[in-house]
Amino acid sequence: MDDATRDLIDRIAADAVPVRPLQRGQGLALAGLAFMVTILAVLFLLGARHGLLHDGVSVFFVLVNGLLLLLGIACILAVVTMASPRVGSNHDGPKWAMAMVGVLPAAGVFAAYRPGAGPVVDLAGAECTVMGLAASLLVAGALFAWLRKGAPVSQRLAGLYLGTAAGAMGSVAYGLSCPVDTIVHLGIWHVAPVAIAGLVGRYVVARWLRW
Amino acid sequence: MTGDDATLARLMRAAQAGDRQAYTVLLEETAKWLRRYFHRRIGPEKLDDLVQEVLISLHAKRSSYDPSRPFLPWLAAIARYRWVDHLRRDYRTRTEELSEDTATTGDAGDVVLARISLDRLLDQLPPAQAKAIELVRIEGYSITEASERSGQSKALVKVNIHRGLRKLSALIEKAN
């Protein structure tokens, strides 16, 4: 061993203070807490949509938000795992969930061109996208802080999953206050935050995950 | 001291708890393991720098090691990350020919394992990209020399290096 490496080892070892290993459960709890706080904030600030607790929601509401919730959970699990790298880890699971959610906007566009459907582009829809993005910030912050503590070695993928998770959870949280139940509205405007946040994560946030 | 995974994992757990002696032994064994791991996958004059970079990364990110899991897959992920990072850097100085006297004195089984690990990473690239990276970034040939040796145009060598390194960075956690 050369002298420089020897010296380095001595210097590093001298700094052998105890550290608390990253626990996967803590990362999941952090993301879960951020999601719960977001839901409470949405309900407190915007109020619950009509019929939320009394069986007054459509099947599209359950379908779209259920798929978004599953996508968000899959991405959160992947992001939390990516903070502790390991050769042999596979992070492909969320890609299948993304593909499934990708069917929703296609269904929304398909439905929009059927006779009697409302307009595809409307101000309320754009507002839902903006609010969904705003509601994603807390989960995004929690996952970003977790990844910064860890050692993600695939930053682009980690950024993509971080953004997708935050967008999906934010959209679900905001969806609790949105009264519109059509597949055109939910499939397009409530999925848009997921795509936007995913792209921001992949192309912007990923740069700040380097170490 | 043998650098088997169980021993290294035990040392790492002790190091996370603040045991300085265990940490010193761990770092020494890790440095030896890394030298074998990077053998022939980096210019000899760059080897010590790369080993030191990984040791610093290990120290900075030691909380990311999950004590319930094996140690070497975690270390290998960090080592691959730093290796790809190292290959990315634009160094133009021609490296010396890789020579036999850099051969490791370590355990032959470990050497095979380590070579398979980094070789397998390169194997996942299209052959033209892997060849361009090996010639220019590992063996130190110029773009012109690499073009002559590989039969690729100079522009293609550059493109293959760029695309190959980008792909490598996405494959770091792929198993052997």
DSSP E strand stretches across chain B: none
Q: What is the pLDDT of residue A28?
A: 97
- Domain membership of residue A55 (yes or no) is yes
Residues 6+ apart with CB under 8 A from B65: A21, A84, B12, B16, B71, B74
Chain A environment of B80 (Cβ under 8 Å): 87, 153
Q: What total of structural domains would you count in chain B?
A: 1
Q: Where would I find the H helices in chain A?
A: 3-14, 24-46, 59-82, 93-112, 123-135, 137-149, 155-175, 183-189, 192-203
Residue A143 lies in a domain: yes
Two structure tokens written together for A86: 């390991």
Find the mean pLDDT for residues A122-143: 93
Q: Say if B81 is an interface residue toward chain A (CB within 8 Å).
A: yes
Highest mean pLDDT of the ranges A42-51, A109-118, B99-108: A42-51
pLDDT for res A118? 66
- Asked if residue B176 is part of any domain, the answer here is no
Asked whether the beta carbons of A111 and A181 are under 8 A apart, the reply is no
Q: Is residue A64 part of a domain?
A: yes
Specify the pLDDT at position B103: 39
Q: Is residue B50 part of a domain?
A: yes
* Residue of A165, A171, A162, A172 whose CA lies nearest to A132: A171
Give the pLDDT confidence score for residue B90 in this predicted structure.
Answer: 53
At residue B3, does pLDDT exceed 80? no
Per-residue model confidence (pLDDT) at position B112: 41
- Report the complex ipTM: 0.86
Mean pLDDT of chain B: 83
The residue in chain B having the minimum alpha-carbon distance to the alpha carbon of residue A5 is: B52
pLDDT at B87: 87
Lowest mean pLDDT among A34-38, A57-61, A119-123, A184-188: A119-123
In a domain, A14, yes or no: no
In a domain, A142, yes or no: yes
Which chain B residue's Cα is nearest to A27? B64
Q: Is residue A194 part of a domain?
A: yes
Range of A58's domain? Answer: 24-209
**B96 DSSP 8-state letter:** P
For the residues of A9-58, what is the DSSP string, one character each? HHHHHHT----PPPPHHHHHHHHHHHHHHHHHHHHHHH-PPTTTTTT---
Task: Kindly state whether B86 is in contact with chain A, defined as any CB-CB distance less than 8 angstroms.
Answer: no
Q: What pLDDT, in 10s, does the model give residues A151-178?
A: 999 999 999 999 999 999 999 999 999 9
Residue A131 has pLDDT above 80, yes or no: yes
- Whether the pLDDT of residue A200 is over 80: the answer is yes
Task: Judge whether A11 lies within some domain.
Answer: no
Counting the structural domains of chain A, the total is: 1
Q: Classify residue A3: in a domain, yes or no.
A: no
- Tell me if B150 is assigned to some domain: yes
Q: Do residue B57 and residue A2 have CB atoms under 8 angstroms apart?
A: no
| Parent domain of B157 | 5-170
- Contact A154/B170, CB-based, under 8 Å? yes
Give the pLDDT score at B23: 95
- Domain presence at residue B70: yes
Is the CB of residue B104 less than 8 Å away from at least one CB of chain A? no
Q: Which residues of B touch A91 (CB under 8 A)?
A: 173
Sequence-separated (6 or more) residues with CB below 8 Å from residue A24 = A80, A81, A84, B66
CB pairs under 8 A between A and B: 120
pLDDT at B2: 56
Distances, alpha carbon B133 to alpha carbons A28, A120, B49, B144, in Å? 39, 49, 19, 13
CA B131 to chain CA centroid, nearest Å: 17
Whether the CB of B124 is below 8 Å from some CB of chain A: the reply is no
Distance from CA of A152 to the nearest CA of B (A): 9
Looking at residue A15, what is its pLDDT? 86
Closest residue by Cα to residue B70 from B1, B4, B2:
B4
- For position B113, what pLDDT does the model report? 60
